[in-house]
Amino acid sequence: MKIDQKNMERMMKQMGMNVINIDAEEVIIRTSDKDIVIIEPQVSKIKVMGQETFQITGGEISEREREDSDEDDVDMVADQAGVSKEDAREMLHQTQGDIAQAIMKLKKE
């Protein structure tokens, strides 16, 4: 049974659902040990009662191992936050390689 797209959109609007299609080239889902990469997905942002949900369908799916932080990044975080390289490396791991966030978190500690 095929559902008419215009009817579906009208019904969703009546229920207070707002759907926006996002022109995405790639979606990356980062986990603690790997990245799940979805190439050329169909992505929709659905807003219902103030809550936003993303729906990802289709595309080519692959997985890749997470890379450890670059030593230059570790040195920069350690210098900027005034901590050891080991602490900087751990915080980079916790922040998934986000240098600015790692520095800010380490300065607060």
pLDDT at position 75, please?
A: 93
Q: How far is CA 79 from the centre of its chain?
A: 27
Q: What is the residue extent of each domain of the chain?
A: 5-65, 71-108
Asked if residues 35 and 63 have their Cβ atoms less than 8 Å apart, the reply is yes
7-65 pLDDT, tens digit per residue, is 888 888 888 888 899 999 999 998 877 889 999 999 999 998 889 999 999 889 998 87
Give the right CATH number for 71-108 from 1.10.8, 2.60.120, 1.10.540, 1.10.1740: 1.10.8
Helix, strand or coil for residue 32?
A: coil
Rounded CA gap, 108 and 104, in Å?
6
Q: Which class is 5-65 in CATH?
A: mainly beta
- Give which of 61, 55, 51, 43 is closest to 16, Cα–Cα: 51
Indicate the residue type of 92. Answer: L
Quote the pTM value.
0.53
61-102 pLDDT, tens digit per residue, is 998 876 655 888 999 999 999 999 999 989 998 888 889 999
